[in-house]
Structure 1
């Protein structure tokens, strides 16, 4: 059997062609060409076309038997019934609803009620608040389909406007306990006239239509699996689906996700509770990670600077660094302050570009460690942590992460764990074992923390927390 996996990530189109019998894996990726200055607002049909074109290249001349899909949580596009675009796709970094969300968060009763029902926080990243923002701006949302990028791609391929509870758990409109659209949330927020896609199983399929087949250069009728969120699929890809197993991805954004037996909510409202395609997840996510490193590289050293040349700059012995708050794109976990802003604090005349760059790497890790401590307070220390993402291309940053967390980090051997997760879901949907020798086997590399650095990073984290507390954004007016 040959499985074609297609993923629309935050920045790139990715495809994998997997031959289950030969164990051969063929991966291609390509950065999206975006038509505007704001990468958080995208032409959903252009993204779909670029992904399908890449899939066509990867599957050329191959007899594909199954298509599986992966994409981002939290996107929103309004569509007419015929899928004509009413709005672009507003992805997770879109902060247009930040003022609205800040006003709503002033109502503690509403905030706790919403979190308790959905597992989500009142924050601009969630589609439910993007919908409210659009309506507040005068948009007519009545009768419009509310979709995300993965659901749109599935609809373009199959003609069916379906989603599943895993993808829908990141909308703020799904009940965390029942796994169904939450009628009470929809009614209280006055969104009953918005059309939400029917929920189907994570292993449900629909046949590839003739137009979809033409776009991919394949035959019509191939089953297409309902799409999954890349975060949830990473959990499946790294086989971290048993309670207490955590995946930790440091890519464009950062996320920590721990598998749980039941939906689990934080009393401090600092974490979220979504669903992977195979079970509940508790987690925390940050908007600033690799995107902040890219920003710092370009502004400190120039857009042409090579990361390999920057790798030797950080020094574990460097003291008295500036404090960097990685909220250039607002804050999600743990404080959920969309209006929070980032930058350097405690700058001194002797600080060099190398100091600034190292403080960015450390500030990002401190932010994620802040999230980790909130998760540990609810669930206890994880049994296992699997680290993945662009962080692994920097041995210095990887070791720094283990040192700050004070925990062993198992390095994911899978460069594209979310796509592997989509393939595993395809194997499950066809009655096969999720495990496969092409993806599994061998002893994983483990990064161990250096205990001698503990005091230095504890002091750095304390400084970070102090500046985090001092820079909380003011409340907005009614």
Structure 2
């Protein structure tokens, strides 16, 4: 058997999956790493721990497919990460992840003075502290000594590949997501570079998503257990590859993903930007561009709800409790903005809220409201995507939440449309593998993924769709009304950073 290995470097773990040439998973490994959030708005990780997770996962999967032929390895990675490297190729910083919001003031400034709109029109990246452009503006002010030593500015996949091959390269897809690349020239944007305080020479070499890297460092290949000349395809970002991995790569098909965070995305054949700057435009491959909106608050909010309300119970028990609560959670609404928000708000200061709380509501009702609030927020993004690309003909759902029957039904009811769930939940890893297959001539085109996604089932809307159609405008109105208070609340929290810790200690 011939297998292609897809590596998905995610926010909280790296997943490595070996697929046969029909897209069937033959082996897998998942290695996690911690996210450091020791101060407000901070979200950092160790590049060495992530590199170790990648190599460990590859070694584990290679051992599982011993005796089979490994055609190659292809990569997916989370977007918007930043690592500053010195002249000796050593990290000067940790990995600043997409969730790091410390550059919020710079994003606000760019939006306020009009420069943000012009940048968005050239880069396709909404102005937000998630983007490396804004992170670098913050680093220039907050850590000038570090930036003075910066020989290279890279992302996490660039770091992993440098350790494997000794070259700094970045694919168009991840470069597009930095906010530093012009999507019409497919090169670094001079104005964005000037704002970030970096030069093109400090950034990786730009290559297409099907670019092959040659001759792995022998010691790394030996550690993994493969030949040094095993083909490695650079791949793309996890967002666009997730669309590929659920076969949502034709106009009219929308992918809805919820993992730690979430997104709503669809594919168009040329770059098109939302005139209001609320959606991203990201490159996948020639003639395939993904537009959509990412949300900060997906599974991470569900995890918070478990820890806050039912720390002694597992997720299956929580889901069973929430399933007993009627649709609409007895009029209790939840705005899920616990970590600021990207789409649809693009406001790092956004904060979460329960609205409509009464003495009759209990913890189970709050759980159901949390699930509904996460889904309402995704639907709000869906409405923006539909306004730009047209009403969807099909919805594909993926991510960890897709394992939950309750959430699948909730998604179908809130979206008031049938939702198809592919067999494979590791859509970004499969997308990476398919891109690798196409790059190596093992499949004729990316469209071959349609026959690889495995058996699927479709969730039809229930009568509860009418309840959510009634509540959604109320939820949207509440979100709009509270938007003006977020800056003041976030400002108070930053001025009193120990307040939450003190409360937690008392509990």
Once residues 469 and 103 of structure 1 are traced to their aligned partners in structure 2, the CA distance between those partners, rounded to angstroms, is 21
Change in Cα spacing, 1:354 to 1:80, as seen in structure 2 (3 Å) is same
Do the aligned residues in 1 keep the contact of 2:33 with 2:49 (CA within 8 Å)? no
Q: Which residue is equivalent to 1:455? A: 466
> Which of 20, 33, 46 is the aligned partner of 1:43?
46
Which digits, 9 at most, give the CA deviation of each residue in 1:193-248, with x for residues without a partner? 77110111211111211132133132222221114211111122222212222211
Once residues 121 and 4 of structure 1 are traced to their aligned partners in structure 2, the CA distance between those partners, rounded to angstroms, is 32
Q: Which residue is equivalent to 1:439? A: 452
Once residues 200 and 120 of structure 2 are traced to their aligned partners in structure 1, the CA distance between those partners, rounded to angstroms, is 23
> Which of 119, 141, 147 is the aligned partner of 1:141?
147
Change in Cα spacing, 1:94 to 1:194, as seen in structure 2 (3 Å) is farther
**1:65-144 map, 5 Å:** 65-107=71-113, 109-139=114-144, 140-142=146-148, 143-144=150-151
Change in Cα spacing, 1:199 to 1:355, as seen in structure 2 (3 Å) is same
> Which of 47, 54, 67 is the aligned partner of 2:57?
54
Pair 1:203 & 2:195 matched: no
Q: Which residue is equivalent to 2:292? A: 283
Instruction: Give the structure-1-normalised TM-score.
Output: 0.93
State the shift of 1:461 in Å: 1.4
Do the aligned residues in 1 keep the contact of 2:256 with 2:397 (CA within 8 Å)? yes
Once residues 437 and 282 of structure 1 are traced to their aligned partners in structure 2, the CA distance between those partners, rounded to angstroms, is 20
Once residues 4 and 318 of structure 1 are traced to their aligned partners in structure 2, the CA distance between those partners, rounded to angstroms, is 43
Do the aligned residues in 1 keep the contact of 2:23 with 2:452 (CA within 8 Å)? no
State the shift of 1:49 in Å: 1.0
Greater CA drift, 15-24 or 80-89: 15-24
Greater CA drift, 139-148 or 349-358: 139-148
Change in Cα spacing, 1:385 to 1:82, as seen in structure 2 (3 Å) is farther
**1:240-251 map, 5 Å:** 240-251=248-259
Once residues 245 and 83 of structure 2 are traced to their aligned partners in structure 1, the CA distance between those partners, rounded to angstroms, is 27
Q: Which residue is equivalent to 1:216? A: 224
Pair 1:177 & 2:184 matched: yes
State the shift of 1:438 in Å: 8.5
Instruction: Give the structure-2-normalised TM-score.
Output: 0.88
Once residues 436 and 57 of structure 2 are traced to their aligned partners in structure 1, the CA distance between those partners, rounded to angstroms, is 20
Q: SS of the counterpart of 2:359?
A: coil
State the shift of 1:149 in Å: 0.9
Q: SS of the counterpart of 1:283?
A: strand
Q: SS of the counterpart of 1:122?
A: coil
Q: SS of the counterpart of 1:59?
A: helix
**1:407-418 map, 5 Å:** 407-418=417-428
**1:257-276 map, 5 Å:** 257-276=265-284
Q: For structure 2, list consecutive stretches of 5 or more residues without a partner in the other structure.
A: 492-507
Once residues 81 and 425 of structure 1 are traced to their aligned partners in structure 2, the CA distance between those partners, rounded to angstroms, is 33
Q: CA RMSD in A?
A: 2.3
Do the aligned residues in 2 keep the contact of 1:411 with 1:445 (CA within 8 Å)? yes
Change in Cα spacing, 1:319 to 1:87, as seen in structure 2 (3 Å) is closer
State the shift of 1:146 in Å: 1.4
Q: Which residue is equivalent to 2:194? A: 187
State the shift of 1:34 in Å: 5.5
Q: SS of the counterpart of 1:471?
A: helix
Which digits, 9 at most, give the CA deviation of each residue in 1:426-478, with x for residues without a partner? 11111121537983454x3111112x32332123212211221122134899x
Pair 1:321 & 2:321 matched: no
State the shift of 1:129 in Å: 0.4
Once residues 420 and 317 of structure 1 are traced to their aligned partners in structure 2, the CA distance between those partners, rounded to angstroms, is 34
Do the aligned residues in 1 keep the contact of 2:260 with 2:299 (CA within 8 Å)? yes
Once residues 71 and 186 of structure 1 are traced to their aligned partners in structure 2, the CA distance between those partners, rounded to angstroms, is 23
State the shift of 1:418 in Å: 0.7
Change in Cα spacing, 1:270 to 1:318, as seen in structure 2 (3 Å) is closer
Once residues 396 and 416 of structure 1 are traced to their aligned partners in structure 2, the CA distance between those partners, rounded to angstroms, is 20
Which digits, 9 at most, give the CA deviation of each residue in 1:249-278, with x for residues without a partner? 011111011101111111222111111245
More helix by share: 2
Q: For structure 1, list consecutive stretches of 5 or more residues without a partner in the other structure.
A: none
Do the aligned residues in 2 keep the contact of 1:333 with 1:371 (CA within 8 Å)? yes
Q: Which residue is equivalent to 2:353? A: 343
